[in-house]
């Protein structure tokens, strides 16, 4: 063995004494014993497991329903037992086992519904797994459960049929109210990431689905929802969390502005009633007062309140102008305040590209020439700015 | 005890779902539905046959969209619509009326043994046995070729 020879060599060279050699040997011997995993056993078990699985798969249809469900439930319980064992002996990862348990739970429900030839269309399974994962989250406070809850909760939104009823378009009132209540509770009681973001996204999605429910075919729903969600920041306890959430609002507002710009420029027939435009602007003022008092960095989302009026212009030139000005002023303002410029810069570029593709698509051959030129200018400007920052001795952000 | 609370609760939920399905048969009436396969379909969840029901053809007065129906057995032994309305009434089953027939979501698809779906689709003339509970849920119990 290479180690033995090395140790002998070191001992002979007088680098280490005999006692140290014995200690090293004892330590290595002990460690090896612990590490010696019966590899063949693992390989064998894997094959037995695979054989068992394929045997089950081959006879799946022939197995009575209750036994099928029982099998999946046994898998589920053993996941929780393993999680318990791993927690007590601090080996492996209890969270991973509990997540497998949740997956097995979803599997048990799917197998049940299938074995009884029931419809998979309702949102029942999504709901149950969502609530179970949330309960896991609030019991153990691990972010992984929050992510599982988010993924299973998404099925509530995509599933056809509401809570209990099989047929409804998207969600019915009961489901929307429940989703909002549960998401609010999740938001309020978690006060940690990523739960704050995930529950916020659920609230935003419920706002969007509400439009399908009241069958009012407005186009301003996303802005209304964003404004309505601003007071939610009042319940965020940590200042650092709130500052992080500002980014979420700003990014959603930025995406909204670009989508509105594109949609308005490419469609001709959608109309917003003047009343709604006025209502949105007034509501924007009210929310603006709150933002001005409490959450100054969010002032940038307020121009969205004007989109109702700007929508009247079919060519979308007004929207383009507003978005362009905002992007530019935002970039300059962030630079002056010495903040990170990544997001403002990406937004600025995205605005330019959107406007470019909307208005210059028909003359793309010519416009590509200018586009490439513009991108080069941006690149040069960026490099110069970075060099200047370095010369000034500041840390480039 | 907290550690095993979740598996226990989750088993109770699954048992509840199973019970609710069985109770349809315990408390409900059984019907035979004349069925026809349509639109061959094989998604990830396993093989199933999509079914439509030629006997479930409502009167002209019924509006398309969401409908509520109850069933009765006709003289030929197959189920037909007893009462149908666009408004919910006690004991009714929720369904959807589009194109020509009323579709009941729980009877829309039937999971079959792997590889047998094509046989049912070729047979064309099928019948479905289903139990309908007094509170308006449906459970299909058998799919066979009509004689």
Contact residues for A116 (Cβ-Cβ < 8 A; gap 6+): A65, B18, B21, B139
* Residue A291 in domain: no
pLDDT at residue A161, as a whole number: 47
Instruction: Enumerate the residues of chain A whose CB falls inside 8 A of the CB of residue B42.
Output: none
Span of A141-145, A291-295, B4-8, B60-64 with lowest mean pLDDT:
B60-64
pLDDT at residue B42, as a whole number: 54
What ipTM was predicted for this assembly? 0.78
Q: Would you say the C-alpha torsion A174, A175, A179, A185 has a positive or negative sign?
A: positive
For residues A94 and A129, membership in a common domain is answered with no
User: Domain boundary residue among A183, A216, A249?
Assistant: A216
* Residue A384 in domain: no
CA gap B128, B84 in Å, rounded: 20
What are the structure tokens assigned to B121, written together?
Answer: 């689709």
Positions of chain A with pLDDT under 70: 1, 31-37, 119-122, 159-171, 212, 215-217, 362, 364, 393-397
For residues A141 and A85, membership in a common domain is answered with no
Q: Which among B111, B114, B141 is the nearest to A114, CB-wise?
A: B111
User: Domain boundary residue among A216, A250, A270?
Assistant: A216
pLDDT at residue A168, as a whole number: 41
Q: Tokens 């709901």 map to which residue?
A: A127
Task: Compute how many other C-beta atoms are within 10 angstroms of the C-beta atom of residue A365.
Answer: 8
CA gap A8, A70 in Å, rounded: 60
Contact at CB, B111 and A80, closer than 8 angstroms = no
Instruction: Enumerate the residues of chain A whose CB falls inside 8 A of the CB of residue B106.
Output: 117-119, 166
Q: What are phi and psi of A191, to 5 degrees?
A: 50, 35
How many domains does chain A divide into? 3
Q: Would you say the C-alpha torsion A24, A25, A29, A32 has a positive or negative sign?
A: positive
pLDDT at residue A166, as a whole number: 42
For residues A28 and A73, membership in a common domain is answered with no
For residues A202 and A125, membership in a common domain is answered with yes
For residues A131 and A201, membership in a common domain is answered with yes
Average pLDDT value for residue range B26-39:
82
Q: What length does chain B have?
A: 147
* Residue A282 in domain: no
Question: What are the CA-CA distances from residue A214 to residues A170, A218, A258 (Å)?
Answer: 11, 10, 26
Tell me the per-residue pLDDT of A337-372, one tens digit each, with 9 for 90 and over.
Answer: 888 888 888 888 888 888 878 877 767 677 777 778
* Residue A255 in domain: no
Task: Compute how many other C-beta atoms are within 10 angstroms of the C-beta atom of residue B105.
Answer: 21
* Residue A341 in domain: no
Contact at CB, A113 and B17, closer than 8 angstroms = yes
Instruction: Enumerate the residues of chain A whose CB falls inside 8 A of the CB of residue B114.
Output: 60-61
* Residue A369 in domain: no
Answer whether B45 touches A (CB < 8 Å).
Answer: yes
For residues A123 and A211, membership in a common domain is answered with yes
Higher pLDDT, A252 or B46: A252
Give me the DSSP letters along A1-19: -HHHHHHHHHHHTTSS-HH
Tell me the per-residue pLDDT of B78-98, one tens digit each, with 9 for 90 and over.
Answer: 888 888 888 888 878 888 888
pLDDT at residue A1, as a whole number: 60
For residues A113 and A156, membership in a common domain is answered with no
For residues A77 and A165, membership in a common domain is answered with no
Structural domain of residue A75, as residue ranges?
A: 56-118
* Residue A186 in domain: yes
What are the structure tokens assigned to B58, written together?
Answer: 């409502």
3-class DSSP assignment, residue B138: strand
* Residue A134 in domain: yes
For residues A97 and A135, membership in a common domain is answered with no
Q: Are B138 and B130 in contact, with CB atoms under 8 Å apart?
A: yes
Instruction: Work out whether strand B101-103 and strand B126-132 pair parallel, antiparallel, or are unpaired.
Output: unpaired
Task: Compute how many other C-beta atoms are within 10 angstroms of the C-beta atom of residue A97.
Answer: 20
For residues A102 and A130, membership in a common domain is answered with no
* B130: nearest Cα among B56, B63, B67: B56
pLDDT at residue A198, as a whole number: 92
What are the structure tokens assigned to B37, written together?
Answer: 């396969």
* H or E, element range at B84: strand B79-85
Answer whether B109 touches A (CB < 8 Å).
Answer: yes
The single-letter DSSP state of residue A172 is -
Which of A117, A159, A161 to mutate: most B Cβ within 10 Å? A117
For residues A142 and A207, membership in a common domain is answered with yes
Average pLDDT value for residue range B8-24:
89
For residues A65 and A95, membership in a common domain is answered with yes
User: Domain boundary residue among A216, A248, A266?
Assistant: A216
Contact at CB, A61 and B113, closer than 8 angstroms = yes
């Amino acid at each position: 063995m290479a180690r033995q020879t090395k140790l002998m060599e070191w001992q002979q060279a007088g680098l280490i004494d005999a006692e140290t050699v014995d200690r090293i040997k004892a330590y290595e011997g002990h460690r090896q014993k612990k590490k010696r995993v019966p590899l063949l056993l693992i390989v064998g078990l894997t094959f037995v497991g695979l054989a068992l699985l394929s045997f089950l798969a081959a006879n799946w249809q022939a197995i009575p329903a209750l036994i099928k469900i029982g099998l999946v439930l046994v898998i589920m319980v053993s996941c929780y037992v393993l999680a318990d064992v791993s927690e007590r002996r601090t080996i492996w990862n209890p969270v991973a086992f509990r997540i497998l348990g949740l997956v097995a739970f979803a599997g048990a429900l799917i197998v049940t519904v299938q074995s009884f030839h029931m419809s998979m269309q309702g949102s029942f399974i999504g709901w149950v797994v969502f609530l179970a994962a949330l309960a896991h989250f609030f019991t153990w406070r691990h972010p992984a459960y929050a992510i599982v809850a988010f993924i299973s909760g998404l099925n509530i939104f995509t599933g056809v049929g509401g809570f209990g009823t099989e047929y409804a378009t998207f969600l019915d009132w009961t489901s929307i109210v429940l989703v909002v209540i549960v998401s609010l509770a999740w938001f309020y009681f978690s006060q940690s990431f990523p739960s704050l973001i995930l529950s916020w996204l659920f609230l935003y999605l419920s706002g969007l689905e509400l439009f399908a429910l009241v069958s009012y075919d407005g186009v301003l729903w996303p802005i209304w929802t964003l404004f309505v969600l601003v007071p939610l920041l009042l319940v965020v306890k940590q200042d650092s969390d709130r500052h992080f959430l500002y980014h979420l609002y700003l990014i959603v507002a930025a995406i909204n502005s670009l989508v509105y710009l594109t949609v308005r420029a490419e469609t001709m027939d959608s109309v917003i009633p003047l009343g709604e435009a006025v209502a949105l602007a007034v509501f924007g003022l009210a929310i603006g007062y709150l933002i001005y008092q409490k959450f100054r960095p969010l002032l940038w989302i307020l121009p969205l309140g004007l989109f109702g009026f700007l929508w009247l212009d079919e060519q979308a030139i007004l929207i383009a102008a507003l978005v362009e000005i905002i992007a530019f002023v935002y970039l300059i303002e962030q630079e002056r305040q010495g903040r990170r410029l990544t997001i403002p810069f990406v937004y600025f570029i995205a605005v330019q590209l959107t406007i470019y593709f909307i208005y210059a698509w028909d003359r793309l051959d010519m416009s590509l020439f200018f586009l490439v030129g513009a991108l080069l200018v941006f690149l040069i400007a960026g490099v110069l700015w970075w060099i200047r920052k370095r010369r000034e001795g500041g840390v480039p952000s | 005890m907290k550690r095993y609370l979740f598996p226990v609760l989750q088993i109770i939920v699954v048992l509840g779902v199973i019970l609710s399905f069985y109770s349809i048969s315990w408390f409900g009436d059984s019907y035979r539905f004349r069925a026809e396969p349509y639109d061959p379909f094989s998604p990830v969840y396993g093989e199933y046959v999509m079914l439509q029901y030629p006997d479930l053809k409502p009167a002209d007065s019924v509006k398309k969209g969401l409908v509520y129906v109850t069933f009765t057995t006709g003289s030929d032994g197959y189920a037909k619509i007893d009462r149908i309305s666009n408004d919910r009434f006690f004991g009714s089953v929720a369904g959807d009326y589009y194109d020509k027939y009323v579709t009941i979501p729980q009877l829309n698809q039937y999971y079959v043994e792997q590889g047998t779906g094509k046989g049912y689709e070729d047979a064309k003339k099928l019948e479905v046995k289903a139990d309908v509970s007094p509170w308006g849920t449906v459970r299909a119990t058998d799919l066979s070729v009509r004689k």
